[in-house]
A and B are shown apart, each in its own frame.
Chain A
Amino acid sequence: MSYAYLFKYIIIGDTGVGKSCLLLQFTDKRFQPVHDLTIGVEFGARMITIDNKPIKLQIWDTAGQESFRSITRSYYRGAAGALLVYDITRRETFNHLASWLEDARQHANANMTIMLIGNKSDLAHRRAVSTEEGEQFAKEHGLIFMEASAKTAQNVEEAFIKTAGTIYKKIQDGVFDVSNESYGIKVGYGGIPGPSGGRDGPSAAGGACCS
């Protein structure tokens, strides 16, 4: 229950790219081949450890359908991290990335960490987007990039943890004012060693306590 930090994530991307399956694989370690369409927004959570500190991830999985865009947009600003997902076997989901990114840039806070994920890497024989293209796009827009498979679980852990690592690093570098919870980051009651721990010492958490 106790954690050093709590990070809020959102998962965005076209409908059917496997957002809910990635979340399920991450939180429950299982794969569900047929998943109901997400209505609005669903919620999941898991603890991870970074730099020996317990970190709680709260993840909001959004509906990809256009009709829910106005609802899902409300979640951008309060998130510390976003997983932007496309499907490597469907070119159009890759082509739409720019518009998703634009949406995110417009509504999210500027420091939000965005991880680009090419999902369904297990379906290499039906690949429509090459790894290089994904890398190229990520590089151009300053995103972290990974190809993953919610089915085989390949890179799923890594994607969520690497995003958390990046956020954690930003905190250490003093990028965030962690006392302001609207950035999607919360300092926990437990887990931070030293006298400066706890919610009363946000300035100390801004970088002084890292090893």
Chain B
Amino acid sequence: MKMDLMSGYKGVVGLVFGNENSSNEDRYVERLLDRINNGKLPDDRRNAITELQAVVSENKAFQLAFGAMGLPIILGVLKEERHDVEMVRGALETLVSALTPINHSKGSSNEVQPDLMNTDLLSREEESIPLLLSLLEEDDFYVRYYTLQILTALLSNSRQRYKLNSFHGSLIPEVVISSCLERTLADFFFRLQETILTIPRGITRLMDMLMDREVIRNEALLLLTHLTREAEEIQKIVVFEGAYEKIFSIIREEGNSDGGVVVQDCLELLNNLIRTNASNQVLLRETIGLDSLILILKLRGSSYSFTQQKTINLLSALETIKLLLKGGSESDPGKDANKKTNKAALVQKKVLDSLLILGVESQWVPVPVRCEALRCIGDLIAGDSKNLDLLASKVLGEEPQVEPALNSILRIILRSSSMQEFIAADYVFKNFCEQNTDGQAMLASTLIPQPYSMNHSFLEEDVNMSFGSMLLHGLTLGENDGDLETCSRAASVLSHILKDNLQCKERVLRIEIEAPMQSLGAPEPLMHRMVKYLAIASSMKSKDGKSNASGNSYVQAIILKLLVTWLADCPNAVNCFLDARPHLTYLLELVSNLSETVCIRGFAAVVLGECVIYNKSTDNGKDAFAIVDIISQKIGLSSYFLKFDEMHKSFVFANVESSLTHRSFSRSSAASMADIQDVDENDLSEKKNMDHPNLSSILDSYFVNFVKRLEANIREQIVEVYSRPKTKVAVVPEEIEQKKGESEVEYIKRLKAFIEKQHTEIQDLAIRNGTLAEDLAKTGNSLQSEQRVSGGMDRVQIETLRRDFQEASKRLEMLKKEKAKIESEAIMYQNLAAKTEGDLRSLSDAYNSLEQSNLHLENEVKALRGEGHSTFPDVEAIKAEAREEALKESEGELNDLLVCLGQEQSKVDKLSARLLELGEDVDKLLEGIGDDAGAAEDFEDEEDAE
């Protein structure tokens, strides 16, 4: 196998670089290797290895050629010639060059990557890893340094395995090699981790490198970062060996967040150690505490200058906080307890203050860091009542310009120019309001509408503005300048405040907003204002055409989310919504408007559904029945339900679960702010009618699940509405009877009225039925998935059908039983019949044969007779002759018989006498003789009868 691969690689070399060139290069490398291997003069060998290193580091062809031939020789040097430092150095440096990519950037994807091939080849050498680890104990600095570089290259190259996929597309005939290579590299990373574990003190030796000279220490950091990825046992050993102390002392030395890329490396290693490892998180808390970590987050001195490296360092440290707030891997049962302890420990170290400085207070912090800090605040308070209260009580700024931290965060939401920052700040409010009725009530209590004129006289910077005024201001800001963006952001915060909190919902329902100009009419409820903005958002979109589509669909989605949240479980909100007739019409239009995204249509459908299920109204035309009727007339029930299905398949719903991705910052200096830039400008041009990418951050999984639950309710409730008549025609038998003292005329009148009522109801039903039938006819044959829906539309019918079916099946059961009984009887009779038949057949056979013999005899007789007639004259003579003869004969015989008889008689007499003497009844003994024959005849007769 190994041989095959080798020759395969040679083939690859030939194919890729052309035969003439490659053979030259092959031959050249071969010559150098021969000098190294067989040379007698030490200097010549050293020169050869230096030359080899030089060519391998410059040219891909030499890299390939070396990989195919040189590894055993170089490994031989490392094994056998430890004493010759120069040779060992040369050998190691050559290996480093063989594993380093040359000009990858411009290489076409179909080209073979020699560094990856060589990684594969070296990893196949069983002894290579132990050999390399043993070299780490050498005294020579370069030996240790190159060895670390080789190990790091092996690890990082083997993680690039996916790039090799393109290998398949190349023209190389030996496809077998490529698939082989892919698999082995994929395995190799983990194999290398395992190998290092099996070498006694393997990790320990690597950890010692952290105490070595700076260059080696930095290289060791990278290697350890690779090694600790997804390897719990290695993570534990590294921590046991005091990694935390070393990491934080390096970070301190380098100047915390102001340090260089080494700080980033340290933090990345730290994050690997604790990412999914609760036990290591415990150790971090217990061994060195969290002070050093929080120290990194502190801004000192020139806190207005943020280099790119500092930004990345801070983001890495915030990632550490985030991991601690997660508490370990999802599957760990102890995760939640650990998370709680981590939170308590972090809060005790005043992490919230640092986070607030980074996320809210400091003006100079780059947006990505602010976002990350806000998300950490969100995680810190999630589900922790103490921390919720702590955040609520925080005050920022200096006297007299102080304001509650929550107000500052709200200001970020309303005013930030970055969508990411809004989402991050919104996350804080989402977590603040979840399961926190007191907090919600506190925020809602400040929602007091100001007179319109005052509303606009507020200075936006005014720190004295209450939370509520700021929020209401934001909600209604769109009035003048059409800034629906701010309005939707405020709506998002409001929906958090209302979520699952009936009291807050009722309270906010009572808020009325003055009309922009007094002359334009009475104040209107806040909710109506929100619906109005929703309508404006969609109308603006249709005006603008496609250009602004995604932006406004996101505004619509947030306002719809607010309505969905508000109407849930709140009949008064439903009532308020339906107070204005146009609302319903608008909503119906939105549901069936195909230029809206599926999400918008779906949410609108949910709001409609809420108008049914939370409808306590008894007004005609506003009650649940009326809404259902309108839905079925204007939209059609099946296409209404279809909106839900479409919504589930939409991008937002599908992505909600997978929003957690781990990002790692690129290390190279050119690596771009792209990593840390805002992702506001996502390219959407290719996808028309698509939801806004940030929508998935706003429509969190909690909301999505909430909508799913609602949807099930809606389906059920609508079917329910259809399966029972309105209360007005409930038939009470007594009502039909003539009442006592009721005159005939009155009775008839009453009955007539009753019949009229029923008549209208029947008409209603007929109309409804007609709509349904139409709906069915339209969709019934097109979509099978709708069968369920349309089938559920008439529960009554199903109920009767079910009853019929049950009855029928009961009857069927009975019939089956009967059938079985009859069948068994039939079988019995069949058997009987068969038996009888057999008997009959044998009898008839017997009869036939009897008849035959009879016939035969008759014929014989006839023949005899005929014979007799024809020879008549002779017969008489013969007869006479025969008779005489016979007579004579018989007489003789008779005499003989008589004699015999007499003899027998005497014998009998004698014997009888003798028997009598012995006391035996002779008559009885002789009785049975002669009866036997008669009995047998009887039996045969009986059988015949059957």
Binding site for B on A (CB under 8 A): 1, 6, 8, 40-43, 45, 56, 58, 60, 70-71, 73-75, 77-78, 106-107, 181-182, 186
Contact = CB atoms under 8 A, between A and B. Distances in A.
7 contacts: A41-B233, A41-B240, A43-B236, A43-B283, A45-B286, A58-B287, A71-B237
B202 interface: yes
A77 B201 CA distance: 8
A182 B242 contact: yes
A106 B203 CA distance: 16
Contacts of A186: 245
B204 interface: yes
B50 to A, nearest CB: 38
B200 A181 contact: no
B860 interface: no
Contacts of B199: 70
A74 B237 contact: yes
A75 B279 CA distance: 15
A73 B233 contact: no
Given A6-B287, A73-B201, A74-B204, A43 B279 contact: yes
Contacts of B279: 42-43
Given A58-B287, A70-B197, A75 B240 contact: yes
A146 to B, nearest CB: 25
Contact of B200 (A1, A41, A107, A182): A107
B125 interface: no
A58 B233 CA distance: 17
Nearest to A79: B240
B567 to A, nearest CB: 50
A84 to B, nearest CB: 18
Given A70-B197, A106-B200, 14 more contacts: A1-B289, A40-B236, A41-B236, A43-B282, A58-B287, A70-B199, A70-B200, A71-B233, A73-B201, A74-B202, A75-B240, A78-B242, A107-B201, A181-B245
B233 A40 contact: yes
Interface in B202-246: 202-204, 208, 232-233, 236-237, 240-242, 245
A186 B283 CA distance: 14
Q: Which of B200, B232, B279, B289 has the most CB of A within 10 A?
A: B200
Contacts of B202: 74
B763 to A, nearest CB: 71
Nearest to B195: A70
Contacts, number: 57
A19 B198 CA distance: 22
B254 to A, nearest CB: 19
A145 to B, nearest CB: 26
Interface in B259-302: 279, 282-283, 286-287, 289
A73 B236 CA distance: 13
A195 to B, nearest CB: 23
A120 B203 CA distance: 34
A45 B284 CA distance: 12
Contacts of B208: 182
A78 B197 CA distance: 16
Nearest to A2: B289
Contacts of A8: 240
Nearest to B278: A43
B450 to A, nearest CB: 51
Interface in B701-729: none
- 4 closest Cβ pairs, A-B complex: A70-B198, A74-B237, A40-B233, A43-B279
Nearest to A43: B279
A8 B239 CA distance: 12
Contacts of B198: 70
A75 B287 contact: no
Nearest to B286: A45
A65 B202 CA distance: 20
A77 B199 CA distance: 14
Contacts of B287: 6, 58
Contacts of A78: 204, 240-242
A74 B283 contact: no
A107 B241 CA distance: 14
A73 B241 CA distance: 12
A19 to B, nearest CB: 16
Contact of B204 (A40, A45, A60, A77): A77
A6 B287 CA distance: 9
Contacts of B200: 70, 73-74, 106-107
A194 B149 CA distance: 46
Contacts of A106: 200
Contacts of A40: 232-233, 236
